[in-house]
Structure 1
Amino acid sequence: MIKKIVAVAALISLFSCNNEEVLLPQENVSVLKNIEDHSPIYMFFKTEENKDNSEKLDTIVEVNRKNSIASTNWVFNIDKRLPLKLVIPEVMNLQEKKKSSSHSKAGTMNVFTYSDSVAKNLAFFPFTDVQFKYRKHFSKFFIKKHAEHFRNYHNFTVNFNKDNKITVDGNDVAREDFISFIRDFADFTSDGKITMLHLNFDNRLTYEQYIKNKILVWKATNNEIQISTFEFVYDEKKLPECNCKL
């Protein structure tokens, strides 16, 4: 039986049927308001004693997908406190399990959940087509390696670093200026090509920061500005050495 999603406390929290709590991020817009025929997947924030230091607690992720049905839309309810280095490998694993299932159904979606603090409803951010490149990849190098695939686009590398600061092609951009910067820069430099935004996230960012950043980028899109289906969640220590600014 598919679990019922219950939003409480002005949609700040979401509870599973066994009363474990998932704290959701909040934003002021709903990318997608309704989704039917879905199965919930929960990622809980947990802590455990550090094996090397008993006075220190390590953050871990506990995944519950017992009632996920491959032929339905999958709704990912992820605690906002979890870091991407724990979240993304689990998401990638579940994406692959659904894709490889004999019961998988064409046209079904995968979505992240968050709460819309203005409309007071549970909201969804689709990521069905996203292909995650994890740990060792950054879009600047990926685009260069696959230049033939991207040559018909005007490509922007958008990076959200460990401090959640934004750069676009190595240029610092204030969060409040991001949308106007992207649209003005794209209009000035695109030469009639579609502008493709390639998103990069330091894996130390939290799921809350990740969702807020994705929604910020989504707000900047239009018919001439699109988001690449490749998404880069990187470990800075694993990237190729580069003298350039990410």
Structure 2
Amino acid sequence: MRYIYLLIILSLFSCNNERTLLLPEIENADITEVLDVSPAYIFYDESQPDSTLLNRKNLIITTNWLVNVDKRLTLQQAIPHIKFLQDKKRNAEMHKNEDAKNYFTCHDTSIGNLGFLEFTDVVFKEKIKIDTVYHKYNMPTEENLKRIGGFHASSTIPLIFKDGNHFKIGEQNLIIDELKNELDKLTEINFIGIHLQLYFNKNLSFQDYISIKRKVNSLTSDLISMDFNEFIY
């Protein structure tokens, strides 16, 4: 009953307009309850120039923010609104609460209820030229990339996600299910650890983005860290 009630809340929008917001789905969320919250909604709305509509009327700076993003939106559509909300909280001068966090609201299919993915410290960087990534971060040579041993300890490893099922690491194009195996290979050689930087295609749906983030988060460990900067290309 509680879940049904929450879904009804998420489908309503003020000013006598009723809108449906389709939450991204997630499995086995690490966070299933957040207290002292304010909601924001980023709707999918084809009548708008960018197909999005943001409702932030009820946000209170001192609370935890639940950002509800329609899973049908692309990153190109959703990220500018998300960055706007982040800046609003980060730049607040009065009544600021350093402990207040930001979460994406999801439907956790494993429990049939809401789950949450924190993104408080994430910094989104847009319009990245993906063909300059290896040069910019002084990646090893192509020959070394093809043989995993080319990576050295504490390497920064770009993971480039082209769609919801495929990613690129070095010169390898792999399916998402192979990610754990590749990271295991790297940590066997780089015993000090590796640092991941995530690159996302701007045309990825928000659903795909959430699925990828959940996958990568589940693989982080003492040997695998993830950069707070996320790059949209």
TM-score by length of 2: 0.82
Alignment of 1:17-56 (within 5 A): 18=14, 19-48=18-47
For residues 192-219 of structure 1, the C-alpha deviation after alignment (integer angstroms, 9 at most, x for no partner) is 3231110000101110010001111112
Describe the shift of the 1:168–1:132 C-alpha distance in structure 2 as closer, same or farther (beyond 3 A).
same
Quote the RMSD (CA, aligned, Å).
2.6
Q: Which has the higher strand share?
A: 1
Output the CA distance in 1 between the equivalents of 2:26 and 2:66.
17
| Whole-angstrom CA distance in 1 between matches of 2:6 and 2:66 | 19
2:108 corresponds in structure 1 to: 116
Runs of at least 5 residues in structure 1 that lack an aligned partner in the other structure: 1-5, 50-57, 146-150, 235-246
Q: Give how far 1:94 is off.
A: 1.1
Pick closer, same or farther for the CA change 1:97–1:224 going to 2, 3 Å.
same
Aligned length: 214
Q: Which has the higher helix share?
A: 2
The structural deviation recorded for 1:9 is: 9.6
Counterpart of 1:132 in 2: which secondary structure? Answer: strand
Deviation at 1:15, TM superposition (A): 2.0
**SS of 1:44 mapped into structure 2:** strand
Note the residue ranges of structure 2 that are not aligned, 5 or more in a row: 140-151
SS at match of 1:62: strand
Q: Give CA-to-partner distance per residue, 1:70-115, whole Å, 9 cap, x none.
A: 1111111000000100111111111111111123210111111111
The answer to whether residue 68 in structure 2 is matched with residue 77 in structure 1 is yes
Instruction: Return the offset for 1:27.
Output: 2.1
Greater alpha carbon shift after TM alignment, 35-44 vs 157-166: 157-166
User: Contact between 1:12 and 1:24, CA under 8 Å: does it hold in 2?
Assistant: no
Residue of structure 1 equivalent to 2:149 = none
Percent identity between matched residues is: 28
Aligned positions of 1:86-165 closer than 5 A? 86-102=77-93, 103-136=95-128, 138=130, 140=134, 143-144=137-138, 153-162=154-163, 164-165=165-166
Amino acid at match of 1:104: K
Q: AA paired with 1:23?
A: L
1:14 Cα offset (Å):
3.4
Work out the CA distance in 2 between the residues paired with 1:216 and 1:226. 13
Where 2:137 maps in the other structure, the secondary structure is: helix
Do the aligned partners of residues 96 and 156 (structure 1) sit closer, same or farther apart at CA in structure 2, a change above 3 Å counting?
A: same
Q: Which amino acid aligns with 1:41?
A: A
Query: In the aligned structure 1, how far is the partner of 2:105 from the partner of 2:84?
Result: 18
TM-score after normalising by structure 1:
0.78
Query: Displacement of 1:166 after TM fit?
Result: 0.9
Could you report, residue by residue, the CA deviation over 1:28-87 in whole angstroms, capped at 9, with x for unpaired residues? 2112111111110100001138xxxxxxxx651100000101111111100000010011
CA change 1:163–1:105 in 2 (3 A) is closer
Counterpart CA distance in 2 for 1:227 and 1:220 is 10
Partner residue, 1:3: none
